[in-house]
Amino acid sequence: MRNSMLSVIIPSYKDPLLVKTIDSLLENARGNIEILAVLDGYWPTFELRGDPRVRYIHLGRNGGMRNAINTGVLASSGEYIMRTDEHCVFGDGFDVILTKDCEPNWIVTPRRYYLDTEKWEVMDISYVDYEKLAINGNHKFEGQKWHQREKERQHIMVDETMAMQGSCWVMKKSWWEAVIGELQTEGYGPLVQDSHEMVFKTWKAGGKLMINKNTWFAHKHKSFRRTHDEETIPALKEQSYRYALDIWKEYYLNEIKPKWNL
């Protein structure tokens, strides 16, 4: 029998919303899942959720989000892997929908809404489906809302896109092992540009980044406070942005941008 388990990896740093995120995953999963919460160099001051589907991995020191994701993937046992942030809620049956419509060489991200983490409810703000990949002021790679593509392709429920936030994605673990390998910390630093690294590697290997509109998640709105590696973000962001541009800028300008006719 095919192992169709989905392993959900949550890099966690001092955010008590981890428990509510785990609850939402458990309540809305309709298939076989395991949740691996990677506690990145801290012991929680809040009560963790006890459930046989949940495992907690404690790292002895804070190594950053990229390292926490790598650790979770290595410890996972599912055919599919999913990464999510620790301040999200999910649509009913998200796991079955995302894995059913996931080809071996795809990264799939669901429709994204915004979460009010004080009220713990989805905000009345338009969702995000498509994002195009751009270089912002020759400074960094970033995803930008792609309104034209959304309008033209609104009835296509599983479709190719260029960029994702990185806070929720699914792929086959075999694709991670063969193509992604691991999220690189040298040069990139511990925290950002992880989604772009994965997408570039996927494109180079002939794969695709896909949006699946048949399900959704809601991610903490940017107006609410962050926790993961909060203290080190200012110093390390610029290094990561520069490094990513050094590695991928020519590939993006010469091969990716012309392909999408941007």
Alpha helices in 53-146 (DSSP H): 65-75, 94-100
> Residue 15 carries which side chain, given as an amino acid letter?
D
* Cα 145 to the center of its chain, rounded Å: 17
Q: Identify the pLDDT of residue 232.
A: 54
For 131-158, how does the pLDDT look when each residue is reduced to its tens digit (9 = 90+)? 999 999 989 999 999 999 999 999 999 9
What residues does 208 pair with on adjacent strands? 106
Residues above pLDDT 90, as percent of the chain: 89
- Reported as a pLDDT band with limits 50, 70 and 90, residue 109 is very high
Say if residues 202 and 209 touch (Cβ distance below 8 Å). yes
- Calculate the dihedral angle through the C-alpha atoms of 157, 21, 58, 179, rounding to the nearest 10 degrees: 10
CA dist., res. 249 & res. 255, Å (int) = 10
* Cα 214 to the center of its chain, rounded Å: 17
Say if residues 48 and 20 touch (Cβ distance below 8 Å). no
CA dist., res. 210 & res. 193, Å (int) = 18
For 39-80, how does the pLDDT look when each residue is reduced to its tens digit (9 = 90+)? 999 999 999 999 999 999 999 999 999 999 999 999 999 999
Q: What is the mean pLDDT of residues 83-93?
A: 98
Say if residues 8 and 25 touch (Cβ distance below 8 Å). yes
Q: Domain locations in the chain?
A: 6-260
Q: Identify the pLDDT of residue 102.
A: 97
Which of 52, 42, 43, 45 lies closest to 22, judged by CA?
52
Q: In Å, how far are 109, 196, 234 from 133, measured between CA atoms?
A: 15, 9, 23
> Residue 233 carries which side chain, given as an amino acid letter?
I
Residue 155 has φ and ψ, to the nearest 5°, of: -95, 0
Q: What is the mean pLDDT of residues 236-256?
A: 94
CA dist., res. 186 & res. 176, Å (int) = 18
Under DSSP, the state recorded for 219 is E
- Reported as a pLDDT band with limits 50, 70 and 90, residue 230 is low
Name the helix (H) or strand (E) containing 131: strand 131-136
Q: Identify the pLDDT of residue 237.
A: 84
CATH no., domain 6-260: 3.90.550.10
Q: In Å, how far are 120, 122, 186 from 221, measured between CA atoms?
A: 11, 10, 29
| Burial of 73 (C-beta count, 10 Å sphere; 0-12/13-18/19+) | buried
CA dist., res. 53 & res. 77, Å (int) = 12
Give the pairing of strands 208-220 and 158-160.
Answer: antiparallel
> Residue 68 carries which side chain, given as an amino acid letter?
A
For 183-216, how does the pLDDT look when each residue is reduced to its tens digit (9 = 90+)? 999 999 998 999 999 999 999 999 999 999 999 9
